[in-house]
Structure 1
């Protein structure tokens, strides 16, 4: 096989689909439905526990660096009315997921 040719080949469509597959997972007993990657970093119960330990009240602002898919911040938003959340994420894919997760769960106005 020609090395130059093999270096320029693109992945098969199935490989691309597998790399970008998302799952929809329930948190807080189904109160939140969250999109996150099927493989790679995935939020779990640790995000729920983290959110439960954050002391904040209505009208306050929460900042999360490395928000990922937004699970911890969403759990806080579900617990605290009128909280404003500012999240920063360097990975564009996760930033888009977080934005979509806030919108899909009715918290777009909190971000």
Structure 2
């Protein structure tokens, strides 16, 4: 069984049939244990301890990688991604309860878009 490192620092074991099996993760030259291992590291810094800029950056990264994790991540990776996203989003909403909401992102805004699209589609 050979081992290769993926661009995202995951280490894969190549089975004799040529398929890849997700294995340990490497960060900073040390291997993290697989998710089934009881010695796995914590799932990141507490959202409460993050500064506002870092919190927003972490949320952007999670939102950017969500689709790929959903399609190609292991069940454990998807669970962790979902949990971490929920934690960070809850912290963001706690810090910014009066955040700016764009009118187009509300139900009324969606209905207005639908009505405008229906009017545009009417024959003249």
TM-score (norm 2): 0.24
Higher relative contact order (CA 8 A, sep 6+): 1
